[in-house]
């Protein structure tokens, strides 16, 4: 039964952090209870024919060696087209190099299992390495073509300490890994974000053009807006600094130009911003050297707010050109 209330999560975390038995003794129960916690299906009973074992513990595989010999292996937990899971109980201290080495060995073992799967079955997009009661590590290879599995979503956050299950975003990531792993592909997410933002941007660009603003001025203004949204989401600006400013000025549009202008001047200089009431980093380069701000009405500020609600952490700065190309006509580009 899933119980993701604070008390339910605390009980799950405390129960498994205290489990100091071997992985063989505990990993199947841990995975089963994790599935129950996240409201996921539990692994199925195994069948004699491995073709029927799409989601099981102890999935049998065969390693075919260069000399023609064959050896047997077992995947701790397998879900077809989703993941290979390798469980361990690492005795080394969590922050020690020995711990990292042990987890990397487990990852290599999981990758060997993934490569040994039959060709008709294909490789799963994820490897999951579980240190029972301590952490879960994720590695992904979305092309499923034999490339190397890399830390997911990035090397800084691919390791999920058990206590982070309190974070709803972490729980949703794990649910997606089980139920729709391809939905976590950054390329698909970036494409979706790009299309959403480009739609809002196109309408805003057209309305500014109709008001008689020069195309180069519009392009520069939109680029500054987009970069500011990106900087907010990746933590280069205080949380919701620009979003809150947009919400405020949507109710008092006459304040948009002076407040946004002051923010961009502060970003250029690297000083305290009165507009967002915070000390800011310095954004060097030419983007904010002449921070022309175009006056916007409530509807136009609303278009920026819609763009602000997008997942900017999924967007690479290199696609800014693509966003502007989709929003502006050829003459404006």
> What is the per-residue pLDDT for 94?
52
From its phi and psi, is residue 270 left (phi > 0), alpha (psi between -120 and 50) or beta? left
Q: Give the DSSP per-residue string, 123-181.
A: --SEEEEEETTTEEEEEE-TT-SSPPPEESS-TTTSEEEGGGGGSHHHHHHHHHHHH-G
To which H or E segment does residue 37 belong?
A: helix 23-37
pLDDT given for residue 55 in this prediction: 97
Do the Cβ atoms of 146 and 123 come closer than 8 Å?
yes
pLDDT of residue 146: 78
Among 43, 67, 70, residue whose Cα is nearest residue 57: 43
Overall pTM surpassing 0.85 (yes/no) = no
Coil vs helix vs strand at 42? coil
How do the pLDDT tens digits run along the chain, 333 residues long? 678 899 999 999 999 999 887 778 899 999 999 999 999 999 999 999 988 899 999 999 988 888 888 898 999 999 999 999 999 988 765 557 888 999 999 999 999 999 999 989 999 999 999 999 899 999 999 998 878 999 999 998 999 999 999 999 999 999 999 999 999 998 777 677 777 777 777 788 889 989 999 888 888 898 899 889 888 988 899 999 999 999 999 999 999 999 999 999 999 999 999 999 999 999 987 888 888 999 999 999 999 998 888 776 666 555 556 555 544 455 544
């Amino acid at each position: 039964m899933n119980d993701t209330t604070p008390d339910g999560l605390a009980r799950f975390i405390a129960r498994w952090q205290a489990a100091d038995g071997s992985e063989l003794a505990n990993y199947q129960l841990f995975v089963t209870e994790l599935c129950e916690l996240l409201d996921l299906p539990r692994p199925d009973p195994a069948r004699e024919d491995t073709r029927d074992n799409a989601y099981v513990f102890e999935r049998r595989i065969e390693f075919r060696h260069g000399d023609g010999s064959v050896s047997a292996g077992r995947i701790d937990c397998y879900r077809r087209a989703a993941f290979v899971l390798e469980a361990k109980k690492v005795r080394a201290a969590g922050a020690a190099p020995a711990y990292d080495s042990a987890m990397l060995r487990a990852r290599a073992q999981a990758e060997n299992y993934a490569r040994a799967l039959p060709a008709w079955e294909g490789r799963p997009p994820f490897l999951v390495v579980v240190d029972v009661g301590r952490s879960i590590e994720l590695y992904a290879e979305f092309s499923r073509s034999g490339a190397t599995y890399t830390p997911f979503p990035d090397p800084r956050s691919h390791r999920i300490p058990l206590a982070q299950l309190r974070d709803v975003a972490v729980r949703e990531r794990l649910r997606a890994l089980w139920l729709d792993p391809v939905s976590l592909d950054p390329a698909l997410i970036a494409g979706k974000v790009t299309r959403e933002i480009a739609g809002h941007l196109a309408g805003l660009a057209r309305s500014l053009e109709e008001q008689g603003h020069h195309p180069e001025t519009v392009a520069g203004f939109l680029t500054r807006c987009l970069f500011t949204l990106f900087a907010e989401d990746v933590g280069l600006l205080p949380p919701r600094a620009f979003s809150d400013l947009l919400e405020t000025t949507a109710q008092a549009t006459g304040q948009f130009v002076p407040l946004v202008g002051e923010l961009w001047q502060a970003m250029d200089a690297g000083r305290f911003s009165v507009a967002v009431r915070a000390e800011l980093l310095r954004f060097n380069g030419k983007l904010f050297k002449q921070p022309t701000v175009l006056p916007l009405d409530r509807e136009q500020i609303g278009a920026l707010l819609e763009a602000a609600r997008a997942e900017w952490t999924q967007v690479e700065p290199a696609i800014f050109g693509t966003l502007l190309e989709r929003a502006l006509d050829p003459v404006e580009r």
